[in-house]
Structure 1
Amino acid sequence: MTEDRSPIITVVGATATGKSDLALDLADRLGGEIINTDSMQFYRGMDIGTAKLPVDERRGIPHHLIDILDVTEEANVQDFQARARAAIADIRERGLRPILVGGSGLYVRAAVDHMEFPGTDPGVRARLEAEVATDRWALHQKLRELDPQAAEKITVNDQRRIARALEVIKLTGRPFSAQLPDYQEIEPTIHLGLNMDRAILHERIATRVDRMWDHGWVDEVTRLLEVGLAEGKTASRAIGYAQIQRHLTGELTAAEAKDDTTIRTRQFARRQDTWFRRDPRICWIDGSAADAEQNLATALDVLAAF
């Protein structure tokens, strides 16, 4: 079979904007396979709360890099980069089109852009994580002094990224922000972004959280706790999963956990939008009408003009 050299396609944007549906429609129309770039969908068993598409709804289209980690394992962008590029090559070799979809901006860039990631020192990382947990404000201020650009992009509540940024600075002697170079792709790529009126998106998020609760999200977390969720540095902190754990220990009522999940998901959506808006390559599609056929038609027009 002839190797397909058509541009890679990425489908990005905030949570709940309809990325998965558009990616499926494109894969159907163009003969593609999907590569997941949502870091929380890497985890086995984290299905309901990550809006992971059930196998019987994937239309027979292969999905790569879903269910690749146990909840006790830590997601690693360097490892993901190697896996994603191997998946791209595999799809190409079979004459098909790689379509990347997800809202984890750094993982998208790691897959398609020229980016190198410094290694890690477990001892340094553990010390910094402990310090951040004790006084995140002081560590965020330290980051601001060492790398103002990184501090502007990393919120004081994002303890994991504060620790990682300080670790990289210590290990490399260079600003963490220097690890995000200009947008230079490994090969031609078309970037499609779905956006949505904020009020509509907020309502979609609230509705989706309600539906996830009704579909057994609390039971899912209960099962995952039995296989080590609480010990997972990445998985245990996922939005919704963290709130449900606090509910199960009696710290929050069910209503409080659900409300906090909705609020934090909306905040996360704003951060995603801010990240992707910085990328001048993205062609934006207004998905406010939630019209899958129109979204596909617009996307195909963009591809035709590339």
Structure 2
Amino acid sequence: MTGAGPGLVAVVGPTATGKSDLAVALARELGGEVVNADAMQLYRGLDVGTAKLTATERAGVPHHLLDVLDVTDTASVAAYQRDARAIVEELIAAGRTPVLAGGSGLYVQAVLDELEFPGTDPGLRAELEAELDRLGPQALHARLAEVDPAAARVVLASNGRRIVRALEVVALTGRPFPARLRTDGVPRYGAVLLGVDRDTAELDARIGRRVARMFAAGLVDETRTLLPGLRAGPTASRALGYQQVLAALGAGTGADAGTDLCGAAAATVLATRRFVRRQRSWFRRDKRIHWLDGAAPDLAERALRHLGAAAGREPVRAAP
């Protein structure tokens, strides 16, 4: 086939829709490599609960930015932006198609859009986090509503970490916190954005089955092996599944522990379904995304056809 493929393909959307498998299929067809854009898959050891692809499932396709952080590390979007862009540019220079894949919307935008990340002040951050512990997120959210009403309308009143960051940015820069980012610019690298979603009822059922498989595959044991570091990790401890197991392990002893872990599975299903709603809200704002039905049996072919149409020609496939 003739013509050049896209500079970058982004495969985005809610969790459990089939993004990872599609990313591998596209990378194989286009002679590309996958760049992870799932914040929790950055962590070593968070394998079962993040549905990280096994070596077999990666089908020989190189994957980047997996297993690069310890569970005690704090994930930084600014650091991710620097590292991901460096990898993307190396791949493009080598004639390989980067396939950016994941459901962490801010991480995707950090690569594709012109985002700047204000610095941090450790003293101010510590002061705000102490207030968060003492007063709770609702009180800090009320303060955010006073100093930056637009940000307060977007940032959830329960999201203490993001409220703290918003207050920190406003205090350091004197400017509003960019809680809702523009998605109407031309994406970097000539990127083509593909979204994968499924019918809500179907996806809810898939999430239930997926969580059951994770618990059967050893999520609880995996969590235990990561203690005590995981419990202390400011980012990794909030990962879906692990957060619920940590709560159960902390609350239950003896015979009660099994009951608590059953509750942890149910809580993980509910939390994941809520997370999917937030992901949809984030990605559906971006009109640059071409949406695909993850249940389609010819999903990869549909994606390749769109890539070809976006470039005005057939996409280049790797030699067999």
Output the TM-score relative to the length of structure 1. 0.94
Number of the residue aligned with 1:298: 302
The 1-side partners of 2:6 and 2:194 are apart by: 15
1:32-43 matches, within 5 Å, as 32-43=32-43
Specify the SS of the correspondent of 1:6.
coil
User: Per-residue displacement from partner, 1:237-292 (whole Å, max 9, x unpaired)?
Assistant: 111111101111225711111111110000000000000001110000122x353x
Specify the SS of the correspondent of 2:226.
helix
Deviates more, 1:151-160 or 1:270-279: 151-160
Whether 1:174 and 2:175 are equivalent positions in the alignment is yes
User: Per-residue displacement from partner, 1:38-82 (whole Å, max 9, x unpaired)?
Assistant: 000000000000110012221111000000000000000000000
Specify the SS of the correspondent of 1:119.
coil
Number of the residue aligned with 1:98: 98
Structure 1 contact 154–162 (Cα < 8 Å) conserved: yes
Point out where structure 2 has 5 or more consecutive residues left out of the alignment.
253-258, 311-320
The 2-side partners of 1:19 and 1:178 are apart by: 25
Q: Could you tell me how far 1:26 is from its partner in structure 2?
A: 0.4
The 1-side partners of 2:180 and 2:270 are apart by: 31
The 2-side partners of 1:189 and 1:151 are apart by: 31
Q: Could you tell me how far 1:178 is from its partner in structure 2?
A: 6.9
Specify the SS of the correspondent of 1:284.
strand
The 2-side partners of 1:155 and 1:178 are apart by: 10
Number of the residue aligned with 1:84: 84
Structure 1 contact 144–151 (Cα < 8 Å) conserved: yes
* CA radius of gyration, larger in: 2
Number of the residue aligned with 1:281: 288
Number of the residue aligned with 1:115: 115
Output the TM-score relative to the length of structure 2. 0.90
The 1-side partners of 2:198 and 2:149 are apart by: 31
Distance 1:198 1:258, change over 3 A: same
Specify the SS of the correspondent of 1:75.
coil
Number of the residue aligned with 2:16: 16
Number of the residue aligned with 2:313: none
The 2-side partners of 1:275 and 1:283 are apart by: 14
Structure 1 contact 133–159 (Cα < 8 Å) conserved: no
Point out where structure 1 has 5 or more consecutive residues left out of the alignment.
none
The 2-side partners of 1:275 and 1:158 are apart by: 15
- The one-letter code matched in structure 2 to 1:198 is T
CA RMSD of aligned residues (A): 1.5
Count of residues in correspondence between the two structures: 299
Match of residue 271, structure 2, among 264, 285, 296: 264
1:131-146 matches, within 5 Å, as 131-134=131-134, 135-146=136-147
